[in-house]
Amino acid sequence: MMGYIVRRLLLTVPVLLGISVIVFLVISLIPGDPATAILGAYATPENVARINAELGLDKPLPVQFLTWLGGVLEGDLGRSYSLNRPVAAEVIDRLVPTLILAGAALTLCTLFGVLGGVVAAVKQYGWQDKLVTLLVLIGISTPSFFLGIVLILWFSVRLEWFPTGGMYALFGDGGLLDLLHHLALPALTLAVVATGVVARLTRANMLEVLRQDYVRTARAKGLREGRVIYKHALKNALVNIIPIIGIQTGFVLSGAVYIESVFQWPGIGRMLVTAISTRDILLVQGGVLVVAACYVLINLLADVLQAALDPRVKV
């Protein structure tokens, strides 16, 4: 198992490298140069040349990439001109709230998604199945930014149960309870779509597994239904569901961009949106790179978990 983990870790190195190439290229291929973007309408040719030299943009692309990559490896993502502080420091500050939000949402969606999917499959065509199917449909069709607004309107403005936004109360003690109080609505909103997807795929997988010959064998042995479903079927379904949850992380991290905007959550998504409108390219670059790296590592975790459950995966 250890060997498998090491091998998978080694295999993520080229992926991370590829990600950095893509991020670098996307940013480098900007039509028009960043100097003009930074300086805006007041760019004089001298200033543009000065900025270009400062950013190393007068060198050939591969040299630029290596210089940039060297910086990344040392934790230097450049300096944000709009905030006038190192990109790395800003990204780390913003990453933690995003991970808290995404982690909470992921926990919710796994819990309710798998539960809903299993219940729907076991009670296929029953009222439980119909209820889950309806909720799934609404879940995956609701724009999360719209749902967020509606929830704020209802639970924050009308009922005043939850704050309308932010991570901590302005004059609060910043304790865990305060955090959870602020986290509840955004995490719930973010979880809705992913829960729908997980529930739907869990249901489909359970139905698929329950049709397999080995389930018939289990029944032919005289096993009780509970054991057939939870020992024989669910375990096989989980093997397929785990990577799906890994992929949901991508949706959750993506959805976080909207949710952070709606709930003014001080995460990396909101930072990116602001950075784009101020055209702070280095900040965008650093943010995207770090989130993508997190995503790759989470998927690695999902793969390892799957290998631990499934003896057919070559360890």
Partner 1 sequence: MTSLALDETGDAPPRSRPSAWNRLSRNALATFGLVLVVAIAAIAAAAPLLPLADPNATDVANRLQPVFSDGHWLGTDQLGRDILSRLIWGTRVSLAVGIAATLVATAIGALIGLVAAYYGRWTDTLLMRGIDMLMAFPYLLLALAIVAVLGPGLLNAMVAIALVNIPFFARAVRGATVSLVTREYVDAARLCGMSNPRIIAREIFPNVLPVIVITMSTTLGWMILETAGLSFLGLGAQPPQADLGSMLGDGRKLIVTAPHVATIPGLVILLLVIGTNLLGDGLRDVLDPRLKSGALARPMAVTAVDASAGRPAAGAPNAAEAPLLSVQGLETHFVMGRAVFRAVNGVSFDVAAGEAVGIVGESGSGKSVTALSLLGLVPTPPGRIVGGDIRFRGESLIGAPLSRLQDIRGNRIAYIFQDPLTTLNPLLTVGEQVTEAVRRHQNLDSGRARQWTLELFERVQIPRAKERLASYPHELSGGQRQRVGIAMALANDPDLIIADEPTTALDVTTQAQVLKLLDELRRERGAALIFITHDFGVVSELCDRILVMYAGRVVEEGPVEAVFADPRHPYTRRLMACVPILGEPERSIDAIPGLPPAVNRLPPGCAFAPRCPLVLDACRHGEIPLDRLGDGRAARCIRAQESDQESSDA
Partner 2 sequence: MPDVVVETRDLCRSFGGGRRLLGGLKPLVRAVDGVSLRVERGRTLGIVGESGCGKSTLARMLVGLLEPSAGTIILDGKPVDERKRENRLDFHRKVQLVFQDPLSSLNPRKTVRQILEAPLQVLLGMSRAERAARVTELMRLVSLRPEFVDRYPHEFSGGQCQRIGIARALAAEPALIVLDEPVSALDVSIQAQVLRLLKDLQQRLGLTYVFISHDLAVVENICDRIAVMYFGKVVEEGSKADIFRRPAHDYTKLLLASVPVPGRRHSQR
- Residues forming contacts to partner 2 in the complex (CB under 8 A) are 7, 10-11
Would you give the DSSP letter of residue 166?
Answer: -
Does residue 84 contact residue 91 with C-beta atoms inside 8 Å? no
> Should residue 81 be labelled a site residue for partner 1 when binding is judged by CB under 8 A?
no
What burial class does residue 104 get, using C-beta atoms within 10 Å of its C-beta: 0-12 exposed, 13-18 middle, 19+ buried? buried
Would you give the DSSP letter of residue 29?
Answer: T
> Should residue 221 be labelled a site residue for partner 1 when binding is judged by CB under 8 A?
yes
Provide, rounded to whole angstroms, the least separation between the CB of residue 7 and partner 2: 6
Candidate list 53, 61, 63, 146; residue touching partner 1; CB under 8 A:
146
> Should residue 300 be labelled a site residue for partner 1 when binding is judged by CB under 8 A?
no
Binding site partner of 7, from partner 1, partner 2, none, Cβ cut-off 5-8 A by kind: partner 2
Give whichever of 11 and 157 is closer to partner 2, judged by the CB atom: 11
Does residue 255 contact residue 193 with C-beta atoms inside 8 Å? yes
Total chain residues near partner 1 (CB under 8 A): 81
Give whichever of 3 and 32 is closer to partner 1, judged by the CB atom: 32
Give whichever of 7 and 235 is closer to partner 2, judged by the CB atom: 7
CA–CA gap between residue 276 and residue 255 (Å, rounded): 17
Give whichever of 53 and 150 is closer to partner 1, judged by the CB atom: 150
Candidate list 140, 301, 308, 315; residue touching partner 1; CB under 8 A:
140
Give whichever of 14 and 222 is closer to partner 2, judged by the CB atom: 14
Candidate list 57, 100, 131, 273; residue touching partner 1; CB under 8 A:
273
CA–CA gap between residue 136 and residue 132 (Å, rounded): 6
CA distances from 63 to 29, 54, 55 (A): 15, 14, 12
Give whichever of 11 and 297 is closer to partner 2, judged by the CB atom: 11
User: Segment 24-63, which members bind partner 1 (CB under 8 A)?
Assistant: 26-27, 29-31
Candidate list 82, 250, 264, 305; residue touching partner 1; CB under 8 A:
250
What burial class does residue 101 get, using C-beta atoms within 10 Å of its C-beta: 0-12 exposed, 13-18 middle, 19+ buried? buried
Would you give the DSSP letter of residue 87?
Answer: H
Q: Which residues contact 267 (CB under 8 A, 6 or more apart)?
A: 94, 95, 97, 98, 101, 256, 260
> Should residue 195 be labelled a site residue for partner 1 when binding is judged by CB under 8 A?
no
Provide, rounded to whole angstroms, the least separation between the CB of residue 11 and partner 2: 7
Binding site partner of 11, from partner 2, partner 1, none, Cβ cut-off 5-8 A by kind: partner 2
Q: What is the dihedral of CA 12, 18, 22, 28, to 10 degrees?
A: 120
Q: What are phi and psi of 217, to 5 degrees?
A: -60, -45
Binding site partner of 50, from partner 2, partner 1, none, Cβ cut-off 5-8 A by kind: none
